[in-house]
């Protein structure tokens, strides 16, 4: 008697069982940390993520298109200030981390975490070219049973509507052959209290298996995971976090303008207000927004909202206030030069202190210092800068004319050559007393002098 052939129902049941076994096997490898994890993009988000994953016991392959970065990392060297060489060297030496530029090796990893830039176009619309290009590369090497997670900040719908169709072009299906999720990065460069391992991760999966697998992976190396109902919700969470900061920074920037007109120190106001143990959260003014998130992410939502015929007046107003701050700072400098030194901006020698976008990091992305420098040079000022963490300005997308300029020394002889110093970034490693004692005029946009107990008539807050 011939062997009985399986019917359609039994074949379907067998396929479901095989899929369940594959998901179970992947989850087991995540739990015992025998899985290999791939991280695409080894910048200010990707490299700290690599560190967190590898330190927890996983083997990590880092992918980057820049061969110089790859070579440097494989020699045990770091190019990020707050991630020391010793840590990278330890991971490389222990065979926990390897950097590569050969994307064919994506086939070797069990999970692919994507950390690539999501900038804006010149028309302030989302530029997903890095996400799309990376996804197309992943699709070429995608194999059954892999988990793919996007970490880049983006608008709701990107993971499901943009990435999934590209990944499925080769015939593999999300939730059936591979697993797709979104988990936004929450990296805060320079934060010594919270690093990638100590911050909970929000996770939204394209299906129940994807959610379970992504949570299982992240639970092995972060402080915990927060599951949400969909990738779209997780994408919205990230935007909400950054819009919250952008709007509140705009609020204190506007309050600075108002209180300055009244002769009130906004910094003193904030210090007093934050003693209230409820209902108030301190945010601080500055010369403008910087970093890859806060100046950019709100406009991802405003763009997406237009698709649904919804206006985002509050977000756009906050953007207008924040982008106007460099102009305000330059006007305050011009007024102080005229009233105190009898000089105009044209021909004045100005030292910008700090070109990183925030204190104690070497990250210059979207730094408002460059807009201030641009405005001053257009008005005829002679500009130099000092930054203890940025010895040379890297290539810049928005301000290519500043790329390659080198930081000048901060000593008494050097400071005497300048008419004014403008504190744009309040790094801890700067001798602010020397600056205040030597420069005829100090424009302090970060309250750095007052915080260091330095009070002098030549200091102007802006």
Active site residues: 293
Q: Six-digit token pair at 93?
A: 């030496």
Beta pairing class for 442-444 and 111-114 = unpaired
Q: Six-digit token pair at 228?
A: 């949400």
What's the order of all strands across the beta sheet hosting 442-444?
382-386, 349-353, 420-423, 442-444, 459-461
CA dist., res. 356 & res. 361, Å (int): 7
CA dist., res. 287 & res. 325, Å (int): 5
Q: Six-digit token pair at 155?
A: 């608008």
CA dist., res. 435 & res. 70, Å (int): 39
CB of 200 within 8 A of CB of 222?
yes
Q: Six-digit token pair at 452?
A: 């260091």
Give the contacts of 299 (CB within 8 A, at least 6 positions apart): 120, 124, 125, 126, 315, 319
For residue 110, give the nearest of 53, 46, 55, 161 by alpha carbon: 53
Residue located via tokens 């000089």:
343
């Amino acid at each position: 008697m011939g062997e009985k052939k399986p019917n359609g129902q039994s074949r379907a049941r067998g396929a479901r069982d095989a899929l369940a076994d594959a998901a179970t096997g992947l989850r087991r490898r995540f739990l015992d940390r025998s899985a290999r994890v791939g991280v695409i993009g080894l910048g200010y988000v990707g490299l700290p993520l690599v560190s967190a994953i590898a330190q927890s016991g996983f083997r990590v392959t880092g992918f980057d298109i820049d061969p110089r970065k790859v070579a440097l990392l494989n020699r045990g060297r770091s190019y990020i200030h707050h991630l020391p060489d010793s840590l990278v060297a330890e991971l490389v030496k222990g065979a926990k981390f390897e950097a590569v530029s050969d994307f064919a090796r994506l086939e070797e990893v069990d999970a692919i975490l994507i950390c690539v830039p999501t900038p804006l176009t010149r028309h302030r619309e989302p530029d997903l070219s890095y996400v799309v290009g990376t996804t197309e590369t992943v699709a070429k090497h995608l194999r059954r049973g892999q988990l793919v997670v996007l970490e880049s900040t983006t608008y709701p719908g990107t993971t499901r509507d943009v990435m999934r169709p590209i990944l499925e072009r080769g015939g593999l299906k999300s939730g059936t052959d591979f697993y797709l999720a979104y988990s936004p990065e929450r990296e805060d460069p320079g934060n010594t209290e919270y690093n990638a391992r100590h911050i909970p991760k929000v996770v939204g999966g394209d299906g129940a298996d994807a959610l379970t697998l992504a949570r299982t992976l992240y639970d092995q190396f972060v402080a915990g995971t927060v599951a949400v109902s969909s990738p779209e919700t997780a994408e919205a969470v990230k935007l909400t976090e950054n819009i919250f900061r952008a709007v509140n920074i705009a609020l204190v920037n506007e309050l600075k303008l108002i209180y300055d007109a009244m002769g009130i120190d906004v910094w003193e106001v904030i210090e007093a207000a934050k003693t209230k143990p409820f209902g108030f959260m301190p945010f601080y003014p500055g010369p403008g927004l910087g970093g890859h998130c806060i100046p950019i992410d709100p406009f991802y939502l405003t763009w997406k909202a237009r698709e649904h015929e919804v206006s985002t007046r509050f977000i756009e107003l906050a953007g207008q206030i924040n982008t106007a701050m460099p102009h305000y700072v330059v006007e305050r400098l011009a007024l102080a030069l005229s009233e105190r030194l009898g000089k105009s901006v044209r021909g004045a020698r100005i030292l910008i202190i700090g070109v990183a976008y925030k204190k104690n990091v070497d990250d210059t992305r979207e730094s408002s210092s460059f807009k201030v420098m641009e405005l001053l040079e257009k008005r005829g000022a002679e500009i130099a800068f000092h930054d203890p963490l940025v010895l040379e300005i890297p290539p810049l997308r928005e301000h290519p004319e500043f790329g390659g300029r080198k930081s000048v020394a901060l000593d008494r002889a050097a400071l005497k050559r300048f008419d004014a110093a403008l504190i744009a970034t309040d790094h801890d490693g700067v001798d602010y007393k020397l600056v205040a004692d030597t420069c005829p005029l100090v424009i302090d946009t970060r309250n750095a002098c007052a915080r260091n107990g330095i009070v002098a008539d030549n200091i102007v807050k802006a």
